Each structure stands twice: as C-alpha cells, then as structure tokens.
Homo-oligomer: A and B are copies of this chain.
C-alpha cells in the first residue's frame, strides 16, 4: 500500500523546485532588481539542502537572467532585471529549431514597422531626429560602390533598430529589434548577400530620408506609407534572393 504521506510531486528535481520557490518568493515579496537574496548558507538552512543543490537552483535562475552573483563581502545573489539582449538570446534558441523563413520574418516586419513609424511621427525630440540623420549618414559610402551589400544591409538594420528603440511600447521595441537580428543572422548564415547595387542603395537611403522627414513634420500617415513601401520592396528583393539561393542549392545537389 502506498504511503498516505505527502508525495508533493517529487518528479521534479530539487534544484528545479528550489528555483521555482525562490522565484515565487521574490515575486510575492515584490523584490526589486538590486535586492540581495539570502546567502547560500542561509538558503541551505532554509531549504534543508546541500550546497550543490542550492547552487544548481541559482544557476537555473541565472540562465533565465533573473539573478546575478557576486563574490566577496557585500556579495551574494541579487535580483536582476532581465535584459533585452538576454531575452532575445533565449527566444533565439526557440527559433533555432523552428526555422522561420525570410518571408515569415517579413510578414511581421511589414505589419509592424509601418505601425512603429506612424506611432513615432511628431513625437521625436530634435536629438533623436539628429541621431537618425547620423545613422543614415554613416551608411552613405565615402566612395560609390566601395562597400559590399552585407555592410549596407547591416546599416539598414541598424537604422531600424534605432527607430525601434525610440518607441515607448516595449513590445513593439522588442519584437522589431528581434526580427531585425534574426533577419541579419539568417541572411549571413545563408550567404544571401550579393555585390552592391548602387541604385538599390540609393533608393534605400531615399526611403530612410523621406521617413525621417515625415517623422519630423509629424505626418503619421506619410510615415506609415513610406515605411510600408520600403518593406514591400525589401520583401520583394529578399524573396527573389531566397529563390535564387534555393535554385543554386538544387543544382548543386543535382550535380553532386
């Protein structure tokens, strides 16, 4: 006969249970980032477990970006605000397996970036507008045709990242920046870059310039329209590139 005593879900490992208990504890008490958790010794006593077990629990929280440890006097384990970089990296692990296509990414960009542009129109400070101008200027090549498309693409993504950072909406900010990073990784990984087409470069810069102008004058609908057009052309371009790469792969396989 099975014991009537408390079983209490012993299927989860002790470090996992301790980590969840600590997380719940921190949330219940409403501890802010920077607050110190009890020392390892105190946690050992509190949970009645060995040092190794407690340390594994802390690693589980550390990997999530929720705590950070420091050695020495005044050291310890501290509540930590999850950074955007950490969150993006963790989410990237998921899409490493889900492999979205370039087109998948552009579906979301095409829907979100115009919304972002519209929401920023007339709301940016002079300093922020100047910053955008500076990013555009950076991406303009000193000598025509001197840089390759990888650089151009990276510069474009930097512009979009800067723009997203100016949004008050943390969700919009995160998703747009994440999509840009993902796009960058995938294009690099698949070698989707080709030698610079100066004409293309010029039109890209023209889009950005017109966008900043609309943002400056506060014309939300113009900003939305410019960004939507920009996304449409970029999407078309990348679609044809992806098709070309697929064809190349196929012919390689046919040969090999």
Tell me the A residues contacting B by CB distance below 8 Å.
13, 15, 19, 27, 33, 52, 55-56, 59-66, 69, 81-82, 84, 86-87, 90-91, 93-100, 104-105, 107-108, 111-112, 115, 119, 169-172, 174-175, 179
Contacts and interface: CB of A to CB of B under 8 A. Distances in A.
Nearest to A79: B97
Contacts of A119: 107
Contacts of A104: 169-172
Contact of A171 (B100, B172, B174): B100
A171 B105 contact: yes
Given A59-B56, A64-B63, A94 B84 contact: yes
B169 A100 contact: yes
Given A56-B56, A97-B33, A100-B169, A115 B105 contact: no
Which secondary structure dominates chain A's binding surface?
helix
A105 B90 CA distance: 21
A15 B94 contact: no
Contacts of A96: 27, 82
Top 6 A-B residue pairs of the complex, sorted by shortest distance between their CB atoms: A63-B63, A87-B94, A98-B170, A59-B59, A60-B63, A90-B90
Contacts of A107: 115, 119, 169, 171-172
Contacts of A55: 52, 56
A47 to B, nearest CB: 16
11 contacts: A15-B59, A56-B56, A56-B59, A62-B63, A65-B93, A65-B94, A82-B94, A104-B169, A104-B170, A108-B172, A171-B179
A130 to B, nearest CB: 26
Contacts of A100: 169-171
Nearest to A83: B94
A33 B97 CA distance: 9
B115 A111 contact: yes
Contact of A91 (B56, B87, B179): B87
